[in-house]
């Protein structure tokens, strides 16, 4: 069996480690940080605990699958519940809407609150589900760089239904056409941000994302999102993966090959060398090339692709409960186009949409009994040299607090003074996100999906320039977000089996 080294223990690195080990490889993971999980890390501020990164879990079956593969019962190690209300939405004109994870309930609530016929919402969700059925398996679960992917009946069927995929319209145009009502269009447009894209540019095909949340459901894990990283790390250890923490990799060692160089090991930051048969990088693909392979040829066009958005996050320990809020809450901006125009210009608008996630609502141990752990996030541009984050944070913090106070006071019918209730605080901006998980420019989801070719222009799960080098994680195919990262590990393992099989690792379809 081959000796495989994995750089990074993000969710995809952990999933890849489990899969490769179960196929009989000797697997070692080299992680720069002192804990596993990458963006799934945890932040403790006094009596309050926060997930540093993701707050929304969809498609947990891809996590379960790893335990099942190892012959274990998933619920013995990792438990989660489906949320009834997936998100509470509010607008400055006083409208509040609870979006149920059950499509029928959601559609009837939309009809009650916004006056849009329920059937219109159900049709829109069904159309998103159809897009997923037609393309999801091909684009999200397979390598796009293998001819086999394209020679299947399902691709043939999708080609006969191309007109249903809305490839020539933007996501916003699709929602204008199908939903028509301004609040509802904004609600559905927001799904573009689930992979860091812009609804006024992203293709209408992305309307399938609404189906993930309202059809397949949104979930909360016991112990919060960081529990996912811990559960997968424990599983990896049980199946025999070896971990090295505080061990940054400084270089991927290569030797010349007949057509291109071959990866033969790693040089660690302390100059130790580890000889390996294959290398998997779960590190951002841009930095893998820039920092670990400075002398190897690089896929420059792919690496230069526009990145997804980043975020500005305030982690607030709030020492009073807020009954007006649910687990996931969105306070919308008045001018959504202006918000995305500001992001494209590399800055923040004056009235950003504010997302508040409160995990202590389902994980009481994350905050003291009298308080709540608020994860307050606004979309932000990727880190760029001209930005002054100190000034942007100061200005935006005031505006965000003003907006929350204004909207909650109106709802409560009496003044709310949030400023005085923030007992603990930490702030992450695109530069800190870049530094802490080494994601190029602090992008949350790798490259953006703002054009029709985005899926084809993502870096594949193997290197075309260095043999024996593979990739998984949010910066490569099929993209960022927890479910797709888990799928990237699955696709990568299959690609490796096809390119360099070993006895226990027979290629599967
Ligand atoms: P990462 O988590 O990026 O980890 C990479 C690892 O590699 C890190 O541990 C890093 O230390 C290590 N590493 C890097 N360089 C080296 C080196 N040279 N040597 C050794 N180790 C190295 N997704 C959702 O599904 N739902 C959400 O609600 C959501 N919200 C998000 C909010 C925020 C603020 C962020 C930041 C992300 C969010 N995401 C969300 C996206 C999701 O978190 C990511 O797509 C996913 O966690 C990325 O995982 P990954 O496997 O690519 O690795």
Q: What is the pLDDT of residues 58-78, one digit of tens each?
A: 999 999 999 999 999 999 999
End-to-end CA distance of the chain: 21
Band (pLDDT 50/70/90 cuts) for residue 254 is: very high
**Tokens for 492?**
């990568």
Distance of CA 230 from the midpoint of ligand 1 (Å): 14
* Closest to 324 measured CA to CA, from 372, 364, 279, 387: 372
**Residues whose CB is less than 8 angstroms from the CB of residue 385 and which lie 6 or more positions away in sequence, other chains included:** none
Distance of CA 212 from the midpoint of ligand 1 (Å): 21
3 state SS of 353: coil
Q: In ligand 1, which atom is closest to the CA atom of 38?
A: 9
Distance of CA 413 from the midpoint of ligand 1 (Å): 41
290 — alpha (psi -120 to 50), left (phi > 0) or beta?
alpha
Please state, in angstroms and rounded to a whole number, the distance separating the CA atoms of residues 159 and 168: 15
268-282, 388-402, 440-454: least confident range: 440-454
273-287, 401-415, 443-457, 479-493: least confident range: 443-457
Q: Tokens 């709310």, residue?
A: 416
* Closest to 90 measured CA to CA, from 442, 407, 303, 479: 407
Contact 263, 252 (CB under 8 A): yes
Please state, in angstroms and rounded to a whole number, the distance separating the CA atoms of residues 470 and 6: 9
Residues of the chain with CATH 3.50.50.60: 3-80+224-305+449-499
Please state, in angstroms and rounded to a whole number, the distance separating the CA atoms of residues 193 and 461: 24
Please state, in angstroms and rounded to a whole number, the distance separating the CA atoms of residues 255 and 265: 10
* Closest to 473 measured CA to CA, from 492, 452, 450: 492
Please state, in angstroms and rounded to a whole number, the distance separating the CA atoms of residues 397 and 417: 14
Distance of CA 54 from the midpoint of ligand 1 (Å): 9
Q: In ligand 1, which atom is closest to the CA atom of 377?
A: 34
* Closest to 283 measured CA to CA, from 255, 257, 250: 250
**Tokens for 128?**
């998103």
133-137, 175-179, 365-369: least confident range: 133-137
Please state, in angstroms and rounded to a whole number, the distance separating the CA atoms of residues 317 and 47: 8
Q: In ligand 1, which atom is closest to the CA atom of 489?
A: 51
Of all protein residues, whose CA lies closest to atom 15 belonging to ligand 1?
283
Of all protein residues, whose CA lies closest to atom 8 belonging to ligand 1?
38
**Tokens for 251?**
């270089």
- pLDDT for the residue 430: 97
- DSSP secondary structure string for all residues of 45-80: ETTEEEESS---B--THHHHHHHHHTT--GGGT--E
Cis peptide before 127 (omega within 30 of 0): no
As assigned by CATH, the class of the 3-80+224-305+449-499 domain is alpha beta
Which of the listed residues 39, 80, 433 should we mutate to test ligand 1's pocket, taking the one with most ligand atoms within 8 A of CB? 39
Please state, in angstroms and rounded to a whole number, the distance separating the CA atoms of residues 57 and 79: 12
Q: Above pLDDT 90, what percent of the chain?
A: 80
Q: Directed axis angle between helix 103-114 and helix 118-141, to 10°? A: 140
Q: In ligand 1, which atom is closest to the CA atom of 433?
A: 36
What letter would DSSP give residue 498? H
Q: What is the pLDDT of residues 387-408, one digit of tens each?
A: 999 999 999 999 999 999 999 9
- Mean pLDDT across 444-466: 85
Contact 254, 263 (CB under 8 A): yes
Does ipTM top 0.85?
yes
b/e 338-362 (16+ beta carbons within 10 angstroms → b): ebbebbeeeebbebbbbbbbbbbbb
Ligand 1 proximal residues by C-beta, below 6 Å: 7-13, 30-33, 38-40, 53-56, 248-249, 282-283, 311, 313, 433, 437-439, 444-445, 473-474, 480-482, 485
Distance of CA 11 from the midpoint of ligand 1 (Å): 7
Distance of CA 120 from the midpoint of ligand 1 (Å): 36
Q: What is the pLDDT of residues 144-166, one digit of tens each?
A: 677 677 577 776 777 777 788 78
Residue 305 has phi, psi (to 5 degrees) of -60, 150
Give the distance, in angstroms, between the CA of residue 479 and the centroid of all CA atoms in the same chain.
Answer: 8
- Mean pLDDT across 15-25: 97
- Mean pLDDT across 207-228: 92
Q: In ligand 1, which atom is closest to the CA atom of 485?
A: 51
b/e 462-482 (16+ beta carbons within 10 angstroms → b): bbeebbbbbbbbbbbbbbbbb
Which of the listed residues 43, 53, 315 should we mutate to test ligand 1's pocket, taking the one with most ligand atoms within 8 A of CB? 53
Q: Tokens 């504010």, residue?
A: 354
Give the distance, in angstroms, between the CA of residue 177 and the centroid of all CA atoms in the same chain.
Answer: 28
Please state, in angstroms and rounded to a whole number, the distance separating the CA atoms of residues 311 and 103: 29
Distances (CA, A) of 369 to 33, 226, 360: 32, 21, 9
3 state SS of 210: helix
Distances (CA, A) of 217 to 101, 118, 119: 6, 19, 19
* Closest to 379 measured CA to CA, from 410, 354, 414, 416: 354
- pLDDT for the residue 329: 98
- Mean pLDDT across 237-246: 98
Distance of CA 14 from the midpoint of ligand 1 (Å): 11
- pLDDT for the residue 509: 41
Q: Directed axis angle between helix 61-69 and helix 226-239, to 10°? A: 20
Q: Which uninterrupted H or E stretch holds 432?
A: helix 430-437
């Amino acid at each position: 069996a081959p000796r495989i080294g994995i750089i990074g223990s993000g969710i995809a690195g952990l999933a890849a480690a489990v899969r490769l080990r179960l196929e009989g490889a000797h697997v070692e993971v080299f992680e720069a940080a002192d804990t596993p999980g990458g963006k799934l890390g945890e932040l403790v501020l006094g009596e309050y605990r926060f997930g540093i990164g993701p707050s929304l879990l969809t498609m947990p079956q891809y996590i379960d699958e790893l335990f099942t593969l190892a012959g274990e019962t998933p619920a013995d190690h990792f438990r989660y519940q489906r949320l009834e209300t997936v998100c509470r939405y509010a607008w400055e004109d006083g409208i509040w809407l609870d979006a149920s994870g059950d499509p029928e309930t959601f559609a009837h609530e939309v009809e009650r609150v916004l006056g849009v016929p329920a059937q219109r919402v159900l049709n829109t969700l069904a159309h998103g589900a159809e897009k997923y059925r037609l393309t999801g398996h091909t684009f999200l679960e397979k390598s796009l760089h293998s001819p086999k992917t394209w020679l299947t009946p399902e691709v043939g069927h999708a080609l006969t239904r191309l007109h249903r995929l809305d490839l020539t319209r933007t996501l916003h145009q699709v929602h204008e056409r199908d939903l028509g009502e301004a609040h509802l269009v904004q609600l559905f447009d927001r799904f573009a941000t689930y992979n860091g894209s812009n609804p006024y540019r992203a293709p209408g095909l992305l309307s399938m994302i609404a189906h993930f949340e309202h059809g397949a459901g949104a979930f909360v894990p016991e112990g919060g999102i960081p529990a996912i990283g811990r559960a997968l790390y424990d599983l990896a250890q049980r199946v025999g993966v070896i971990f090295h923490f505080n061990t940054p990799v400084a270089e991927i060692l290569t030797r010349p090959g007949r057509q291109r160089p071959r990866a033969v090991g790693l040089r660690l930051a302390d100059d130790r060398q580890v000889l390996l048969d294959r290398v998997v990088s779960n590190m951002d693909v841009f930095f893998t090339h820039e920092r670990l392979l400075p002398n190897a040829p690089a896929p420059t066009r792919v690496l230069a692709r526009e990145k997804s958005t980043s975020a500005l996050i305030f982690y607030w320990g709030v020492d009073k409960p807020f009954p007006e809020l649910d687990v996931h809450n969105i306070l919308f901006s008045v001018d959504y186009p202006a918000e995305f125009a500001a992001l494209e210009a590399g800055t923040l608008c004056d009235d950003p949409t504010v997302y508040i996630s409160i995990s202590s609502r389902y994980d009481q141990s994350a905050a003291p009994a009298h308080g709540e752990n608020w994860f307050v996030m606004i979309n932000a541009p990727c880190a760029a040299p001209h930005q002054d984050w100190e000034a942007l944070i100061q200005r935006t913090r005031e505006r965000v607090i003003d907006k929350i106070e204004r909207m909650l006071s109106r709802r409560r019918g009496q003044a709310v003074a949030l400023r005085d209730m923030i007992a603990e605080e930490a702030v992450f901006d695109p530069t800190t996100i870049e530094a802490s998980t080494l994601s190029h420019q602090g992008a949350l989801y790798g490259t953006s999906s703002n054009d029709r070719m985005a899926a084809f222009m993502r870096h594949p799960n193997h290197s075309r320039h260095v043999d024996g080098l593979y990739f998984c994680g949010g910066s490569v195919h099929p993209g960022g977000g927890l479910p797709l990262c888990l799928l990237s590990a699955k696709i990568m393992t299959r690609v490796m089996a096809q390119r360099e099989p070993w006895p226990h690792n027979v290629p599967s379809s």
